[in-house]
Amino acid sequence: MTREEFLARLQSAEWDDIELKEATWAVPKSALETVSAFANTKGGHLVFGVKESNGMFSITGVTDIDKVQNDFLGQVRDGQKVSVTLPIAGDVHTMPEGSVICFYVPEAPRHAKPVYLDRNPKKAYIRRGSGDYTCTGEELLRFIRDAGSITYDSETLDLDPTKCFDWGTVRSYRAMFETRNPGKDGSADDMSFLRNWGFLVERGGRILPTRAAVIVLGSGEYVRQELPRIVVDLQFYRHSVSEYSPSVRWADRVTVEANLLEAWKALLDFYLKHSENPFAVDPTTLRRHSDPPDYISFREAAINLLIHQDFGDATRLPVIRFFRDQAEFFNPGDALASREQLLDPGDKEVRNPQIVRAFQRIGLSDQGGTGVGAIFDGWRRLGFVPPEIENDKAEKSFRLRLRKERLVTEEQLLAQASLGVQLSEQEAAVFAYLIRNGEIDLADIKALTGYSGPAARELAQRLEVQVILRPTTGTAGKFALAEHLRARFLSALDKTSVEYQKVTDGSPSEKPTEQVTEQVPQGTTEQVTLKELSDVQWTIVEHTDAPRSLTELMEIAGYTQRPHFKASHLEPLLDGGVVRMTVPDKPTSSKQRYVLTGAGLKLKALRLEAGNEQKDDEND
């Protein structure tokens, strides 16, 4: 951590990955607890030389830098004190108030968790918020299952292979396998097929099923014996997610306690029943004949939930909730890759490799780790905000939210039009996200564009050159909206910091034009940003695909007063970059015409699309 990063983090409100300790003369006793907690979750910074008092932090400094640093590093490298050796190093920064030491504790590899103290696994900690907490027994078991050299799903079960399978499911699986892999199934019978493809293995002279085999293809009683909980809980609500509470009853619910292939069929039936756009599924492949973006995102998210859950966790249920404006997927078991890694193609470490491979053979799981990317790609093609991922390393859970909310709104298109620069589709998406949130990181850019890491960095650099974003202090790979745009657009989203000016002349069917004005010092030029179009301005937009004269536009809008029409309705569109003059060098030319800009055309298209969606909703 650099000096600038430390100072920035000292002012931050985010404390889940930084712990500050006084440590003036010696290493605090609780320091190793923080090491264990960071190593067991997602890593973090441990800083010596900062004192807390009444919720306020002040730099006090470390008196003997060399002694405290050497003592701490000696402790973390002592196998009697910490169960695994971690590559921890410290940076010393000299401040006016004294010197501080910043140590970075990385997340431990999966096979090294849980990281515990004093050779006692019960002294393992996890990081929740700004605190270090002792792992519960169930949390320790989750770490142990994930750490095994033999994965949980590949372990054999002492079951009779002639009784534990649902043979109807096995035949369905073989049919899907043959469709996906013509000519590769040379098995004489079902038992031979199961042995050939690893569902049955030989152990000690006996043929036994793997746990994956029973979970994917097993008969109901054996699945329930091995997994004494619901495989997936499906819930459908008729209202929006904002209206949800645990006391609100679902409109429809299905709980599945069958093998994974039957669970996927139940998921498809449930989705088909409540889909906005009804479709048919091929009974052999269990896939659609054509795959629109919304179905692709659902399919990949649902299968991701089925095959990557922690099947050893009987305390929590996988749940899918469908709302009018959002679908939520909750899974017990965190992803072993980071959010940014999940967005990149390529094979990744998974919790249940045997189950994943079983689904890949029949085309119901992504190849090369592209599943999460396909979820994001489908949602991006629909024009929605990127899916939200919460990969909780402490809770060891995975949440995915698919929000049906437009990324680019009319207001954001107006903001983009006022920039006066030409943005590509991907740059415009990043800009829309920035004026929503104020900040963005490389993972967000990848989610918004589908770009790889290097291409995402190049896009950020282009927007930096155009002074649209700037790197943030203290966090590599993170960016903020440029200050001059922050004042214009972020303040516009906060109604407490803006002034609304409404212009009306009492004309029929007119909606006031809302202009958003910055609070600027006296004597400076006031920046006006067009935030919303009036009905009259929408009439202008609707009729300026082709160049129109001022007289034509006034007639279309039903106006006779030229000065007022220009000042109140046309000029804001010109200043906002929605409409342009065909003869800009001669504003009063008799040949002057007005036509939509590229941004204006996008704005009109968005308006038409929103109107069509509203009609569809009314028809439903």
Give a yes or no: residue 32 inside a domain. yes
Q: What's the domain range around 165?
A: 153-225
Q: What is the rounded CA–CA span in Å between residue 263 and residue 300?
A: 14
State both tokens at 566. 């220009």
Closest CA to 53 of 20, 101, 16, 8: 20
Q: Is the pLDDT of residue 309 over 90?
A: yes
Read off the pLDDT of each residue in 327-350 and give the average, rounded to a whole number. 89
For 453-568, where are the alpha helices, taking DSSP H only? 453-465, 483-485, 535-542, 550-557, 562-565
Considering the domain architecture, whether residues 298 and 384 belong to the same structural domain is answered as: yes
Query: What CATH code is carried by the domain that includes residue 399?
Result: 3.30.565.60
Q: What is the DSSP letter of 510?
A: P
**pLDDT for residue 608:** 84
Considering the domain architecture, whether residues 455 and 604 belong to the same structural domain is answered as: no
Out of 177-191, 233-247, 562-576, 597-611, least confident range: 597-611
List the end-to-end C-alpha distance of the chain, in Å, as a whole number. 55
Q: What is the rounded CA–CA span in Å between residue 249 and residue 231?
A: 21
Give a yes or no: residue 619 inside a domain. no
**pLDDT for residue 130:** 86
Tell me if 311 sits within 8 A of 210, measured CB to CB: no
**pLDDT for residue 520:** 35
Tell me if 376 sits within 8 A of 343, measured CB to CB: yes
Q: Is 127 helix (H, G, I), strand (E, B) or coil?
A: strand
Q: Is the pLDDT of residue 508 over 50?
A: no
Considering the domain architecture, whether residues 193 and 131 belong to the same structural domain is answered as: no
Local confidence band at 56 (pLDDT 50, 70, 90 cut-offs): confident
Residues of the chain with pLDDT > 90: what percent?
A: 63
Considering the domain architecture, whether residues 258 and 383 belong to the same structural domain is answered as: yes
E strand segments, 164-205 = 200-203
Give a yes or no: residue 25 inside a domain. yes
Q: Which of 343, 374, 403 is the last residue of a domain?
A: 403
Considering the domain architecture, whether residues 113 and 42 belong to the same structural domain is answered as: yes
Local confidence band at 462 (pLDDT 50, 70, 90 cut-offs): very high
Considering the domain architecture, whether residues 108 and 214 belong to the same structural domain is answered as: no
Residue type, 546: A
| Residues composing the chain | 620
Q: Which DSSP helix (H) or strand (E) runs through 168? A: helix 167-180
Give a yes or no: residue 207 inside a domain. yes
State both tokens at 344. 């990149």
pLDDT tens sequence across 1-25: 777 777 777 776 567 889 999 999 9
**pLDDT for residue 245:** 85
The count of domains in the chain is 5
Q: Which DSSP helix (H) or strand (E) runs through 138? A: helix 137-147
Considering the domain architecture, whether residues 376 and 417 belong to the same structural domain is answered as: no
Residue type, 506: G
Give a yes or no: residue 618 inside a domain. no
Give a yes or no: residue 136 inside a domain. yes
Read off the pLDDT of each residue in 242-246 and give the average, rounded to a whole number. 87
Q: Is the pLDDT of residue 402 over 60?
A: yes
Tell me if 237 sits within 8 A of 251, measured CB to CB: yes
Query: Which carries the bigger pLDDT value, residue 145 or residue 289?
Result: 145
Considering the domain architecture, whether residues 193 and 260 belong to the same structural domain is answered as: no
**pLDDT for residue 283:** 66
Q: What is the rounded CA–CA span in Å between residue 333 and residue 615?
A: 41
**pLDDT for residue 191:** 96
Closest CA to 113 of 72, 94, 141, 88: 141
Positive or negative CA dihedral for 201, 204, 207, 210? negative
Positive or negative CA dihedral for 161, 163, 165, 168? positive
pLDDT tens sequence across 575-591: 888 999 999 999 889 99
Query: Strand 499-503's sheet: what is its strand order?
Result: 499-503, 513-517, 528-532
Query: What CATH code is carried by the domain that includes residue 127?
Result: 3.30.950.30
Considering the domain architecture, whether residues 277 and 375 belong to the same structural domain is answered as: yes
Query: Which carries the bigger pLDDT value, residue 569 or residue 476?
Result: 569
Give a yes or no: residue 617 inside a domain. no
**pLDDT for residue 292:** 83
Q: What is the rounded CA–CA span in Å between residue 17 and residue 131?
A: 10
**pLDDT for residue 493:** 45
β partners of residue 105: 44
Q: Is the pLDDT of residue 474 over 70?
A: no
Query: What CATH code is carried by the domain that includes residue 455?
Result: 1.10.10.10
Q: Is the peptide bond before 114 cis (omega within 30 degrees of 0)?
A: yes
Local confidence band at 518 (pLDDT 50, 70, 90 cut-offs): very low
Tell me if 109 sits within 8 A of 86, measured CB to CB: no
Q: Is the pLDDT of residue 382 over 50?
A: yes
Q: Is 381 helix (H, G, I), strand (E, B) or coil?
A: helix
Tell me if 503 sits within 8 A of 451, measured CB to CB: no
pLDDT tens sequence across 111-132: 999 999 999 999 999 999 889 9
Considering the domain architecture, whether residues 40 and 160 belong to the same structural domain is answered as: no
**pLDDT for residue 172:** 95
Q: Which DSSP helix (H) or strand (E) runs through 481? A: strand 478-481
Considering the domain architecture, whether residues 437 and 309 belong to the same structural domain is answered as: no
Local confidence band at 509 (pLDDT 50, 70, 90 cut-offs): very low
Give a yes or no: residue 616 inside a domain. no
Query: Distances in Å between the alpha carbon of 195 and those of 191, 213, 350?
Result: 6, 10, 23
Q: Which of 119, 146, 173 is the last residue of a domain?
A: 146
Q: What is the rounded CA–CA span in Å between residue 314 and residue 548?
A: 68
**Backbone phi, then psi, for 197, in 5-degree steps?**
-110, 25
**pLDDT for residue 280:** 61
Considering the domain architecture, whether residues 18 and 119 belong to the same structural domain is answered as: yes
Over the chain, what is the mean pLDDT? 87
Local confidence band at 275 (pLDDT 50, 70, 90 cut-offs): confident
Q: What is the DSSP letter of 566?
A: I
Query: Strand 116-117's sheet: what is its strand order?
Result: 116-117, 120-128, 131-134
**pLDDT for residue 448:** 95
**Backbone phi, then psi, for 323, in 5-degree steps?**
-115, 170
